[in-house]
Structure 1
Amino acid sequence: MTTKADTNTQTAKVVLVTGASSGIGEATALRLAAEGHQVVLGARRTDRLQALTEKIKADGGQATAQRLDVTDRDAVRDVVDEVVEEHGRIDVIVNNAGIMPLSRLDALLVDEWDQMIDVNVKGLLHGIAAVLPHFARQGGGHVVTVASVGAHEVYPTSAVYSATKFAAWAITEGLRMEADPSIRTTTITPGTVESELAEHISDPGAQTYMKTFRRNLIPADAIARAISFALDQPADVDVNEIIVRPAAQR
């Protein structure tokens, strides 16, 4: 199989993908590695990261794995610094780690609200804070944020989740406006995608609602392809946002 690594090695980038152990993160790691990029996989489930790393290497790609909890600011900074120490630079961070324990507000699942804020918002900020000094020193870099259509709409049970994803969109858009043009920013906004997100919903009402909402799904690689497209543009082209959803999702 001919990959981008065989035909266009000068475009290879060092890419850190958070939440890489499943779903969109896993699909993104597989696709970017197949296209010739050096991929660093970050997530808490090291057994899955190791298996994914071995698969990528067996398929001829380049990958390493790092245990990473994005809610730990120091840990995120240390992982990014290790990537730069090992590879000499970091070109892209794909801020993909996220959780979606939906519930109605009157269910008062406050601990789950806190978890979403810690992972979906603070985790994103930790990633940005870790890479920006390196991007400034290098004279360039690319921040990719995986948000959600929940960043643009609110439905029953999604109030807190949508708030965190709107925050992710707003933070990334703010970075785009503030940063030097050499630092590109992209928000990837998925609709319903095959993933483990819905499995973490503990509220019975939200579980029932999501069975209906998730009748139409697209594979995680559809989102990985969008990320690949954004990364593949020339340096003077900044893809600000891509919304990707099932054709049947209205």
Structure 2
Amino acid sequence: MTQTTYDNLSGRTALVTGAASGMGEATARLLAAHGARVALLARRADRLTELAAKIGADGGQSLALPTDLTDQDSVDAAAERVHAAYGRVDLVVNAAGVMLPNPVTDGRADEWQRMLDTNVAGALRVVRAFTADLIATAAAGGTADLVNISSIGAHVPFPNYAVYGATKAALTYLSQSLRTELGPLDVRVTNLEPGLTESELASHVDNADLSGQLDGMFEALTGLSSDDIADLIAYTTSRPRHVNLRHAVILPTRQA
């Protein structure tokens, strides 16, 4: 019988980065609504506490863990708390990201470093902290998932988004390479590349011209919602363990 629900999420232990807003928050809420215990990682403690309260009010289970993904010690401390509270993690979603578009000629090295530290190194720190959990889960016959949220910008160039796109291209390549290492161990690796999607990423833009450009695109293209991405993640990770939806590009219907 073909599975059409998210029943396989019940009883799983998930970890979601970037859970304070946008795609991370929507994913955490949806996974919890379908019976997963969810560790919530992000920098903003107040937002995480609020989200954990909402999940609890809806009958779900979550753990708020204020974490700085640019700091390995902070990530390791979060991992210790997750393991103490929930044990082994079997579903990891790297949803945290920073988007700071500007012309390369502006030379904003601080912004470049922030994007690299969060979008690439941050994801790697999480992989380092939880890959052993995923491998052990799969070895014991369980379902193990690593989901990385990249971007359509990983392979479609946009003016002024060179560094952001480069970080997402790195994440897409990392996903492909990790699949060659983890797939033979029955750990699924999924790379998602959303197109125009409503999230807090747009609020990171401090260039008025580029911010206005994004507003115009949302008006013309009817962008995706964070819930749309969460729905795809829940679908992907609730498939039978031998099925790996490994790479998906998700666009608004009007986006070329």
TM-score, normalised to structure 2, is: 0.90
Distance 1:102 1:195 in 2: 15
Q: Could you say which residue in structure 2 is the equivalent of 1:219?
A: 225
SS at match of 2:25: helix
Q: Could you say which residue in structure 2 is the equivalent of 1:29?
A: 28
Q: Could you say which residue in structure 1 is the equivalent of 2:239?
A: 233
Contact 1:104–1:206 (CA<8 Å) still a contact in 2? no
Q: Could you say which residue in structure 1 is the equivalent of 2:201?
A: 197
**Structure 1 residues 204, 108: CA separation in 2 closer, same or farther (over 3 Å shift)?**
farther
What is the aligned counterpart of 2:175 among 172, 176, 179? 172
Given the alignment of the two structures, is residue 47 of structure 1 paired with residue 33 of structure 2, yes or no?
Answer: no
Instruction: Report which stretch shifted further, 36-45 or 80-89.
Output: 80-89
Percent of aligned pairs sharing the same letter: 38
Given the alignment of the two structures, is residue 161 of structure 1 paired with residue 164 of structure 2, yes or no?
Answer: yes
AA at the equivalent of 1:248: R
Instruction: Report which stretch shifted further, 145-154 or 196-205.
Output: 196-205
Q: Could you say which residue in structure 2 is the equivalent of 1:143?
A: 146
Q: Could you say which residue in structure 1 is the equivalent of 2:68?
A: 69
Contact 1:186–1:239 (CA<8 Å) still a contact in 2? yes
Distance 2:14 2:53 in 1: 17
SS at match of 1:214: helix
AA at the equivalent of 2:71: D
Contact 1:103–1:205 (CA<8 Å) still a contact in 2? no
Distance 2:233 2:152 in 1: 16
Distance 1:124 1:30 in 2: 21
Q: Which whole-Å deviations, capped at 9, do the CAs of 1:156-177 have from their partners, x for residues lacking one?
A: 0110000000000000110001
Contact 2:9–2:237 (CA<8 Å) still a contact in 1? no
Distance 1:176 1:126 in 2: 17
Instruction: Count residues with an aligned counterpart.
Output: 245
Given the alignment of the two structures, is residue 152 of structure 1 paired with residue 155 of structure 2, yes or no?
Answer: yes
Distance 1:224 1:175 in 2: 22
Query: How much does 1:10 deviate?
Result: 7.7
Q: Could you say which residue in structure 2 is the equivalent of 1:101?
A: 100
Q: Could you say which residue in structure 1 is the equivalent of 2:185?
A: 181
Given the alignment of the two structures, is residue 242 of structure 1 paired with residue 248 of structure 2, yes or no?
Answer: yes
Distance 1:242 1:73 in 2: 29
Query: How much does 1:84 deviate?
Result: 2.0
Distance 2:42 2:200 in 1: 14
Distance 1:150 1:192 in 2: 10
Contact 1:40–1:63 (CA<8 Å) still a contact in 2? yes
Distance 2:191 2:79 in 1: 20
Structure 1: segments with no counterpart, 5+ residues: none
Instruction: Report which stretch shifted further, 50-59 or 178-187.
Output: 178-187
Contact 2:27–2:229 (CA<8 Å) still a contact in 1? yes
AA at the equivalent of 1:207: S
Structure 2: segments with no counterpart, 5+ residues: none
